[in-house]
Amino acid sequence: MKLYYHPASTTSRIVQLFALDQGVDLEYQVVDLMSGEHLKPEFARINPNSLVPVLVDGDFRLTESSAIIKYLADKAGSPAYPKNLQARARVNEMMDWFLANFNKDFGYGLLYPQVFAHHRRPGDAVQSATLNWGKQKAQVWLKILDANLIGPDKAYLCGDAITLADYLGAEILAAGGLIRCSYAAYPNIERWLQNMRGLKSWAKVHEVLDQFAASLKDKAFVAI
């Protein structure tokens, strides 16, 4: 199976972290987002959305990081995507929460408009209002994640065992490193992220992201 990806891309790292941690063998093919390789017609034929990641398994092509890790987990029989109906529903619930609630405000409202030129809103007033909105809403979601969704007892998002939701959620939060977000005000989130940072593949998966963050160290950002 081949994964079209970029190592600085959050949604690519979700798949990469899951695959490396769970021992799922993939052939990795970089799509250079920085030079606009994903915008060329050759890649649009692979994914008309012109986005990474894309998984190719024989004749089967799959986009959307969440769908890709569910497919890989089922194919590998991974316990990170439990078969029990209610346990699986809980994992799906957390994944949807991160994508549909949290990342809408945190990723698309706060992070991407500051880091990627094509996400910047037109005009300083609109940009500033977007960032303030994104920050405030993200803080509301983080409080809920800390107090209600994780709480003081759980090692991982859905209990004592790692699931797909952890790979997805941790990578979305880790992307905040680019604009120097701190989650110190959220002790349960910090504790969970420490568990995730302890995964054997974490450092390797974050090498390029860390270099990208270092290249932005002198830039001022609105952050959490």
Ligand X SMILES: N[C@@H](CCC(=O)N[C@@H](CS)C(=O)NCC(=O)O)C(=O)O
Q: Can you give the binding site for ligand X, defined by CB under 6 A?
A: 9-11, 33, 38, 51-53, 64-66
For residue 89, give every residue at least 6 positions away whose Cβ sits within 8 Å of its Cβ, in sequence order, or none.
none
Least CB distance from residue 113 to ligand X, whole Å?
Answer: 12
Measured in residues, the chain has a length of 224
CB of 121 to ligand X, least distance (A): 15
Distance in Å, CB of 144 to ligand X, minimum: 21
Beta carbon nearer to ligand X, 50 or 195: 50
Other Cβ atoms closer than 10 A to 60: 9
Q: Which residue lies nearer to ligand X by CB, 67 or 185?
A: 67
Q: What SS3 class is residue 214?
A: helix
- Least Å distance, CB 172 to ligand X, is 10
Q: Which is nearer to ligand X, 112 or 186 (CB)?
A: 112
Write down the least CB distance from residue 64 to ligand X, Å: 5
Tell me how far apart the alpha carbons of residues 131 and 99 are, in angstroms, rounded to a whole number.
18
C-beta of 2 vs 154, nearer to ligand X: 2
Three-state DSSP class for 141?
Answer: helix
Residue 31 or residue 196: which is nearer to ligand X going by CB? 31
DSSP codes of every residue in 153-203: T-SBTTBSS--HHHHHHHHHHHGGGGGT---TT-HHHHHHHHHHHTSTTHH
